[in-house]
A and B are shown apart, each in its own frame.
Chain A
Amino acid sequence: MGSLFSALTAAGQSLQAFEQAINVTQNNVTNANSPGYAEQVPQLISQPFQDGTGLAGGVQEQTQDTRDSYADTAVQQQLSLQGMYQQLQTTLAPLQNVFDVSSSSPIPSALSQLFQSFSTWATQPDNTDYQSAVIDAAQQTATAFQQAASQLGAIQDNTTNDIQSTVTQINQDAGTIASLNAQIAQDPTPDAGLSAQLENTLENLSGLANIQTIAGIGGQVTVLLGGQTPLVIGSQVNAIQSGNNTASNSGNPGAAPTISIFDSSGDDITSQITSGSLAGLLSVRDTLLPTLIGGGQQVGGLNTLAQGLADTINNTLAAGSTTDASPYQPGAPLFTYNSSAPSGIASSLAVSSTITGDQLAAASPGPPFSANGTALALAGLDSSSPGPVDGQGFTQYFGSLTATVGNAVNNANTSATAQSQLVAQAQSLQQQVSGVSLDEEAVRLVQLQSSYQAASKVVTVIDQMMQSLMDEIPT
């Protein structure tokens, strides 16, 4: 009888094991497209049988999670870089509208008209129409600078708002992870559904900032921001926040302070944010924009250009004369700006409200005296060498600002395109990990790596050929 009962017990256990295995397989099919889900592999293990000892034999089911922590980490890292480059693409795109070298762009167009008006005025210095044309062109130039400053200010404000909303999203994701950790702690039985939700949230979070995860008991995770700042520990969230770095703009009145990220203790952790969309936003807000419109300790290229233009033209007019004979009368300044706020010069650039055509000094007292010497000097300012703004002409200086923006946009586009493919590669490898032995995986990787390296060498040769071809072709 003993052996009969043993056999029945074993048969019953085996049926349960097979039922569980079928459930696991069904679960895999149902969740095939669930974000973050890793295949669960049912494993049937034969049990020892020894009559009379209680060891009833049969099979037992154990479910093996195929989640690979390295594969998950690799995907998270690639997503983090993708988040940064895509954010850079989005945030930098409106800057190209402001910094455009085409002749229809407001600043180059206004500068061209201004110097053209000086040139025309030099042909007949007493012509009141030509004098009015100079003042009108100066007005258009000032307006173009004001509009550019206003557009850059709006981009700066939008970027600040985006930083705040990204920080809010990071804290929300951290809250979700903490909640999932709490559920895992309550019931330590492995749950593929919870694990999938956790992985999906971690991938979302990776797109926002560079995180590192440490696996804990039963599948809980500790999340570190920038590898150092604990964001989630168990069910506890250490929320981060963004704020002005008030010390950053001391000595530069009127300049927008840089934005910093602070941990839950109030410590500045901005330098730890190196990828994810938050890093992209911080890079534009605290590094690129200050070089253009000012911020922190920088005056900004647009303000430098506006001040250089106004000072050079005003000084040239002041050195000239409105009269053709002694006593010579110096010309009145054409432009005004608020010199007490160096970061606001472009936005405050204006044409002197009191200036009239007869106050423009066309003559140069010399010696030798020239009735249109100053007007001619003004007409040649943009092409003089060395130029008046950091050794460059006004249009050339604006071109260098445009090149800075263009290079940043180009880099972001190239990196974002490459990164999208890398994310696809990492995700594809992540999916292939399941059901493959480590040996097979290693051999496959070695083959893949050598094939990629071979292709990469050809790309290097092509890149060199492209460069020499481009050098040969005139622009």
Chain B
Amino acid sequence: METTTEYGDARECLLAARQRMREVKRLLSQPSAEAADESAALLRDVEIQLGCVAVFLRQTGSKPDSEFRSNLEELQDEVAVLARFFAEADKLFAGWLYAVCSRRGGYTNRGQAAPLVLVKKLSVEG
């Protein structure tokens, strides 16, 4: 017999995790810091849901059926895609930043892009 909490049982936790993962994928279709922050919050919830799945499985000692395992494998594939996406996106942004910084401030003596220096604008009135 499976224990029920605010997250329901292991199967419900897993389905909730997948639902949040779908939302993350939707959010990341457009690059913005807000979308990424929201994604991080959703991913933390996925983490909690998976933690609950693990606890339920250990507590009840129940053997998950093939559908449960299949759902878990699909989620694992989605996580793999996301991990690869973030790794490649990091490279993309780093390259882009390098190009912008070098165009903004030129290059250092070591041939690296000049560090970004932002000067606060001063507004004088009267």
Interface residues of A (CB under 8 A from B): 70-71, 74, 78, 410, 413-415, 417-419, 421-422, 424-426, 428-429, 438-439, 441-456, 458-463, 465-470, 472-475
- A422-B85, A442-B101 known; A474+B32 contact, CB < 8 A: no
* Extra pairs beyond A426-B92, A448-B33 (9, CB < 8 Å): A418-B82, A418-B84, A422-B92, A438-B104, A442-B97, A445-B93, A455-B40, A455-B86, A462-B47
User: Does B86 lie within 8 Å of A456, measured CB to CB?
Assistant: yes
* Residue in contact with A428 in the complex, picked from B31, B69, B118, CB distance below 8 Å: B31
- A454-B36, A474-B63 known; A469+B89 contact, CB < 8 A: no
Chain A residues with CB under 8 A of B76: 466-467, 470
- A428-B30, A449-B90 known; A465+B104 contact, CB < 8 A: no
User: Does B81 lie within 8 Å of A418, measured CB to CB?
Assistant: yes
User: Does A439 lie within 8 Å of B118, measured CB to CB?
Assistant: yes
| Shortest Cβ gap from B46 to chain A (Å) | 6
Chain A residues with CB under 8 A of B95: 70, 74
Chain A residues with CB under 8 A of B54: 465, 468-469, 472
User: Does A466 lie within 8 Å of B79, measured CB to CB?
Assistant: yes
User: Does B43 lie within 8 Å of A439, measured CB to CB?
Assistant: no
| Shortest Cβ gap from A184 to chain B (Å) | 24
Chain A residues with CB under 8 A of B64: 473
A-B contacts counted at CB < 8 A amount to 147
- What CA separation (Å) do A458 and B37 show in the bound complex? 11
Closest 9 CB pairs of A and B: A451-B36, A456-B86, A70-B99, A458-B43, A455-B40, A418-B84, A447-B33, A418-B85, A449-B93
- Over the window 33-53 of chain B, the binary record of Cβ atoms lying under 8 Å from chain A Cβ atoms (1 yes, 0 no) is 100110110011011001101
Chain A residues with CB under 8 A of B107: none
- 16 A-B Cβ contacts within 8 A? A70-B100, A414-B81, A418-B84, A425-B89, A428-B30, A438-B104, A445-B100, A446-B116, A447-B33, A448-B33, A449-B93, A452-B93, A458-B44, A466-B79, A473-B68, A473-B72
B23 on the interface (CB 8 Å rule)? no
| Shortest Cβ gap from B38 to chain A (Å) | 9
| Shortest Cβ gap from B32 to chain A (Å) | 7
- What CA separation (Å) do A468 and B72 show in the bound complex? 12
Which B residues from 92 to 123 make CB contacts under 8 A with A? 92-97, 99-101, 103-104, 116, 118
- A465-B50, A469-B72 known; A451+B40 contact, CB < 8 A: yes
- What CA separation (Å) do A74 and B68 show in the bound complex? 40
Chain A residues with CB under 8 A of B124: none
- What CA separation (Å) do A143 and B110 show in the bound complex? 66
| Shortest Cβ gap from B99 to chain A (Å) | 4
- What CA separation (Å) do A447 and B98 show in the bound complex? 14
User: Does B57 lie within 8 Å of A472, measured CB to CB?
Assistant: yes
| Shortest Cβ gap from A232 to chain B (Å) | 24
| Shortest Cβ gap from B13 to chain A (Å) | 11
| Shortest Cβ gap from A401 to chain B (Å) | 22
- What CA separation (Å) do A465 and B54 show in the bound complex? 9
- A418-B84, A425-B31 known; A465+B51 contact, CB < 8 A: yes
Chain B residues with CB under 8 A of A410: 77
Chain B residues with CB under 8 A of A470: 72-73, 76
Chain B residues with CB under 8 A of A442: 97, 100-101, 104, 116, 118
Chain B residues with CB under 8 A of A460: 83
User: Does A448 lie within 8 Å of B53, measured CB to CB?
Assistant: no
- What CA separation (Å) do A444 and B58 show in the bound complex? 45
Best-surrounded residue of B69, B100, B118 (most CB of chain A within 10 A): B100
Tell me the nearest residue of chain B to A472, going by C-beta: B57
Chain A residues with CB under 8 A of B103: 438
- What CA separation (Å) do A444 and B93 show in the bound complex? 10
Best-surrounded residue of A454, A459, A473 (most CB of chain B within 10 A): A459
User: Does A443 lie within 8 Å of B69, measured CB to CB?
Assistant: no
Chain B residues with CB under 8 A of A459: 43, 79, 82-83, 86
User: Does B36 lie within 8 Å of A452, measured CB to CB?
Assistant: yes
| Shortest Cβ gap from A253 to chain B (Å) | 42
- What CA separation (Å) do A470 and B77 show in the bound complex? 12
User: Does B85 lie within 8 Å of A446, measured CB to CB?
Assistant: no
User: Does A445 lie within 8 Å of B86, measured CB to CB?
Assistant: no
User: Does B80 lie within 8 Å of A462, measured CB to CB?
Assistant: no
| Shortest Cβ gap from B57 to chain A (Å) | 7
* Residue in contact with A469 in the complex, picked from B43, B50, B86, B97, CB distance below 8 Å: B50
Tell me the nearest residue of chain A to B101, going by C-beta: A442
Chain A residues with CB under 8 A of B75: 466
B1 on the interface (CB 8 Å rule)? no
User: Does A451 lie within 8 Å of B33, measured CB to CB?
Assistant: yes
Chain B residues with CB under 8 A of A429: 31, 92, 96
Best-surrounded residue of B37, B63, B85, B90 (most CB of chain A within 10 A): B85
B2 on the interface (CB 8 Å rule)? no
Tell me the nearest residue of chain A to B51, going by C-beta: A465
Tell me the nearest residue of chain A to B94, going by C-beta: A449
- What CA separation (Å) do A444 and B34 show in the bound complex? 11
| Shortest Cβ gap from A277 to chain B (Å) | 18
- A442-B104, A475-B69 known; A421+B85 contact, CB < 8 A: yes
Chain B residues with CB under 8 A of A467: 76
